[in-house]
Amino acid sequence: MDIIKPRTLSGFMELLPGKQIQFERMTEILRRTYASYGFAPLDTPVIEDAQILLAKGGGETEKQIYRFQKGDSDLALRFDLTVPLAKYVALHCNDLAFPFRRFQISKVYRGERAQRGRFREFYQADIDIIGDGKLDILNEAEIPAIIYNVFTGFGLKRFQIRVNNRKILNGFYAMMELSEKSGDIMRTVDKLDKIGAAKVKVILMDDCGLTDTQADEILKFIAITGTNAEVLAALEGYAGRNEIFDLGLAELKAVTANLAAFGVPEENFAVDLTIARGLDYYTGTVYETTLLDHPEIGSVCSGGRYDNLAGYYIEKALPGVGISIGLTRLFYVLDEQGLLNPALPSAPADALVLPMLSDPAAAIALAQTLRSYGLKVQLYGEQKKFKQKMTYANKLGVPYAVLLGEDEVAEGVCSVKNMATGEQVKLTPAEAAAWIKEGLSANNGPVILEK
């Protein structure tokens, strides 16, 4: 038979079992956290009508999209989870209760130029809250609590949720009579972290055409930092000059007012006036999240408030707020930087039952019994020498091997070996289950280790 050399497409993550188990641990934390805030799971198709998916059209998206014909149909793979959500809400709006809260952790597709750490197929882990006509600011205030619980759920402490409000920015540029240039200015200001204030000022003056005074005014504004109270106090100094600004400031106050009630420590939260998150879509609170010791990763969880989710599909105002985590890239970076906790079990089973018997019935029954105590148990069925069996157990990385020979059967016990310490004890099945569970629970550390 002719052999075709197997390969996985470049830009597509395909993990070995141990890594996959670590990845699943992160998705499980996301699912549990999102669900704990009353978000419904959603699962929209990977393939959509291309006309519908590209209703907004334009630019980079259209170039990157996987689009193809099947029969007469013009089809495309989803490139994010927001457009399919917009379609879903427009299509099913009579059947949904608003506010409608959904999470979706699914793969999306972008045929980008392949490069290290960039993926063509990747998971997004999104939540959105969609209102019918209106949506209270309390929903925007709740988002940082969810982000906080996700990242502490991963085991992290040193991260910061950075929040701004687009109305504050729009109002500020309106005060400055720079609304028409606000897009260019925000794109420039966005580079502050990378190129520094001096270079930003040069671009603001040379490319955006601002005066020296205007550029200084902008740099002064975005340099406002400090505690939430200090930033809010500084912003008060601009109040009363523009309605949009004042509205944004009121919203920002509402978002920061209840951080303590939401359980978000002040050190994990910051008002950051440099954050803008794109130009058109977001209209209120915007969010970014950075790992303090790894600023090079950029924002690991971003989103914001928007006024019109599904304007391309329905004549109904559907405001919302949402965030997205690029899970595949996050996992890739954490793994590359050695931040995934290597102490957590990465074997598919908690225990491997190794029969050393002519009749396997007792080993089969033992494995069933251990499972009944909630353990993940693999029964090893191959006729191999003892040494080969232990080699397999080691390669699998299974934390416990359970040996059953004629002697153990006669005594009503099994020999349980802790593969890490080498300790081996004879126990009844019930005692074995308890001993293994105790050992496993000691290994129950965070998914991500801060260094």
Which residues, numbered 9-38, are part of the site for a second copy (CB under 8 A)? 9, 12-17, 20-21, 23-24, 35-38
Q: From start to end of 78-216, where are the E strands?
A: 100-109, 121-130, 159-165
- Helix residue spans in 164-308 (DSSP H): 166-175, 182-189, 192-206, 212-222, 228-236, 243-257
SS3 call for 150: helix
Min dist CB 129 to a second copy, Å, is: 9
Residue 63 makes contact with a second copy by CB under 8 A? no
Instruction: Tell me the closest approach of the beta carbon of residue 291 to a second copy, in angstroms.
Output: 24
User: Residue 80 phi/psi, 5° resolution?
Assistant: -155, 180
Select from 97, 198, 410, 442 the one that contacts a second copy (CB under 8 A): 97
CB of 56 to a second copy, least distance (A): 10
Q: Rule CB under 8 A: is residue 136 a binding residue for a second copy?
A: yes
- DSSP character at residue 132: S
For residue 48, the surrounding DSSP H or E stretch is: strand 47-49
Nearer to a second copy, 219 or 314 (CB): 314
Residue closer to a second copy by CB (options 181, 316) is 316
311-340: which residues touch a second copy (CB under 8 A)? Answer: 311-315
Q: Which of 30, 81, 99, 171 binds a second copy (CB under 8 A)?
A: 99
Stretch that binds a second copy, among 134-142, 164-172, 195-203, 290-298 (CB under 8 A): 134-142
Piece of 151-159, 167-175, 345-353, 441-449 that binds a second copy (CB under 8 A): 345-353
**Residue 358 lies near a second copy (rule: CB under 8 A):** no
Which positions from 143 through 182 interact with a second copy, judged by CB under 8 A?
145
Q: Which is nearer to a second copy, 5 or 451 (CB)?
A: 5
Q: Which is nearer to a second copy, 290 or 378 (CB)?
A: 378
CA 236 to chain centre: 34
Q: Which of 183, 278, 360, 405 binds a second copy (CB under 8 A)?
A: 360
Q: Does residue 88 belong to the site contacting a second copy (CB under 8 A)? A: yes
Segment interacting with a second copy (CB under 8 A) among 167-175, 182-190, 215-223, 346-354: 346-354
Strand partners, 289: 161
Cis peptide before 99 (omega within 30 of 0): yes
Positions in 260-289 near a second copy (CB under 8 A): 260-263
Task: Tell me if 64 sits within 8 A of 21, measured CB to CB.
Answer: no
Examine residue 373 and tell whether it contacts a second copy (CB under 8 A).
no
Q: Which residues from 383-442 bind a second copy, rule CB under 8 A?
A: 383, 392, 395-396
Which secondary structure element, helix H or strand E, spans residue 355, and what is its range? strand 351-356
Query: Residue 67 or residue 201: which is nearer to a second copy going by CB?
Result: 67
For residue 117, state whether it binds a second copy (rule: CB under 8 A). Answer: no
- CA distances to 147, 190, 253, 274 from 230, rounded to whole Å, are 23, 22, 12, 16
What are the Cα distances from residue 302, in Å, to 41, 166, 325? 20, 14, 7
Report residue 353 as tokens: 């039952």
Residue with Cβ nearer a second copy (75 or 356)? 75
Nearest residue to 235 via CA among 143, 164, 321: 164
Could you say whether residue 90 binds a second copy (CB under 8 A)? yes
Q: Which strands, in side-by-side order, build the sheet including 121-130?
A: 40-41, 100-109, 121-130, 320-326, 302-306, 282-291, 159-165, 269-271
Site for a second copy (CB under 8 A): how many residues? 105
Question: Are 147 and 269 contacting, i.e. CB atoms less than 8 angstroms apart?
Answer: no
| CB-based contact 420:399 (threshold 8 Å) | yes
Q: Measured from the CB of residue 201, what is the shortest distance to a second copy in angstroms? A: 38
Q: Which part of the chain contacts a second copy (CB under 8 A), choosing from 3-11, 193-201, 235-243, 417-425?
A: 3-11
75 is an interface residue for a second copy by CB under 8 A: yes
Residues 108-116: contacts with CB under 8 Å, at least 24 apart: 108/77, 108/78, 108/79, 108/80, 108/81, 109/46, 109/65, 109/66, 109/77, 109/78, 109/79, 110/64, 110/65, 110/79, 111/64, 111/65, 111/66, 112/11, 112/64, 114/10, 114/11
Is residue 375 a contact residue for a second copy (CB under 8 A)?
Answer: yes
Among the candidate windows 237-245, 282-290, 337-345, 374-382, which touches a second copy by CB under 8 A?
Answer: 374-382
What string marks each residue from 222 to 261 as x (binds a second copy by CB under 8 A) or -?
Answer: -----------------------------------xx-xx
- Selected from 202, 239, 343, 365, the binder of a second copy by CB under 8 A is 365
CB 285 within 8 A of CB 304: yes
Measured distance CA(86)–CA(248) in Å, rounded:
25
Determine which residue in the list 82, 124, 139, 290 makes contact with a second copy, applying CB under 8 A: 139
Q: Which is nearer to a second copy, 261 or 410 (CB)?
A: 261
48 contributes a contact to a second copy by CB under 8 A:
yes
- Are 129 and 99 a contacting pair, CB within 8 Å? yes
